[in-house]
Amino acid sequence: MSCALDKVEENIFRVISKELKHNDTLPNAQVLNAYGCNGGNVSPELSWINVPNNTKSFAIVCHDPDAPKENGWYHWLVVNIPNTYTSIKQGEKIKESLETITDFKTTGYGGACPPVGHGIHHYHFTVYALDVEKLDVKQNEKPTEVEKKIISHAIAKSTITGLFERK
C-alpha cells in the first residue's frame, strides 16, 4: 500500500547510476591511472530523473572533501549541459557542454587516488539543475569559483557518493 510520502519521494530530483552504488567502493574504472593508482580513469555513467520543470541546463561536480588540501579536491566539473540531456555515458564528453579545469590542472575527469594510509575518501558526484542555459565561466577558472557559480543558479541537486581508500 502506498502513502502520500511515497508519491513525494517518487518526484524528487535524483541522480542514479548503474555503475556507482551510493556509499559503496568506487569501481576501478573511476580510479586514477597515475601516482601509484591503476584504474581506468573514466568518468562514470550518470542519469538524473524527476527534473524540475524550469530547468534550463545541468552541471556535474565530482568533489573529494577528504583530500588533504583546503577546499578538498575537485575531480570533475562540467557546466552548460543542455536541459535535453538526462544522462551521460561512461567517459562521454557532451559536445555542447564545457569541462573546466580540476585540481589536476587539466580539464575532464580525474579519478580517485587518495594518499596511501589517509583513510576512506568520499567522492561526491553531484548533478545540479540550473535556472540558466549557460553559466558565465571560463575553462581555466578555479574549481571553487565554478562551483560557487553553479550553486548560485541551482534549483535542485542530487548526489551519489563513491568511496575509495589506499592502504
Is residue 17 domain-resident?
Answer: yes
CB 33 within 8 A of CB 24: no
HSE-CB of 22 using CA atoms within 13 angstroms: 7
Is residue 73 domain-resident?
Answer: yes
Q: What is the pLDDT of residue 1?
A: 43
Q: What is the pLDDT of residue 11?
A: 75
Quick one: pLDDT band at residue 165, thresholds 50, 70, 90?
very high
Tens of pLDDT, residue by residue over 51-73, are 999 999 999 999 999 999 999 99
User: What is the C-alpha separation between 154 and 79, in angstroms, rounded?
Assistant: 12
Distances in whole angstroms, Cα of residue 51 to Cα of each of 16, 37, 54, 77, 129: 13, 36, 8, 20, 7
User: What are φ and ψ of residue 125, in 5° steps?
Assistant: -100, 105
Is residue 58 domain-resident?
Answer: yes
Q: What is the pLDDT of residue 7?
A: 46
Tens of pLDDT, residue by residue over 26-50, are 999 999 999 999 999 999 999 999 9
Is residue 1 domain-resident?
Answer: no
Quick one: pLDDT band at residue 97, thresholds 50, 70, 90?
very high
User: What is the C-alpha separation between 59 and 150, in angstroms, rounded?
Assistant: 7
Q: Kindly tell me if the per-residue pLDDT of 166 is higher than 70.
A: yes
Is residue 6 domain-resident?
Answer: no
Q: Kindly tell me if the per-residue pLDDT of 112 is higher than 50.
A: yes
Is residue 154 domain-resident?
Answer: yes
What is the CATH number for 40?
A: 3.90.280.10
Q: What is the pLDDT of residue 27?
A: 97
Determine the structural domain holding residue 34 and report its residue range: 13-164
User: What is the C-alpha separation between 88 and 17, in angstroms, rounded?
Assistant: 10
Is residue 5 domain-resident?
Answer: no
Q: How many CB atoms are located within 10 Å of the residue 117 CB?
A: 8
Is residue 141 domain-resident?
Answer: yes
CB 131 within 8 A of CB 153: yes
Strands laid side by side in the 46-49 sheet = 14-16, 46-49, 87-88
Domain count, the chain: 1
Tens of pLDDT, residue by residue over 132-161, are 999 999 999 999 999 999 999 999 999 999
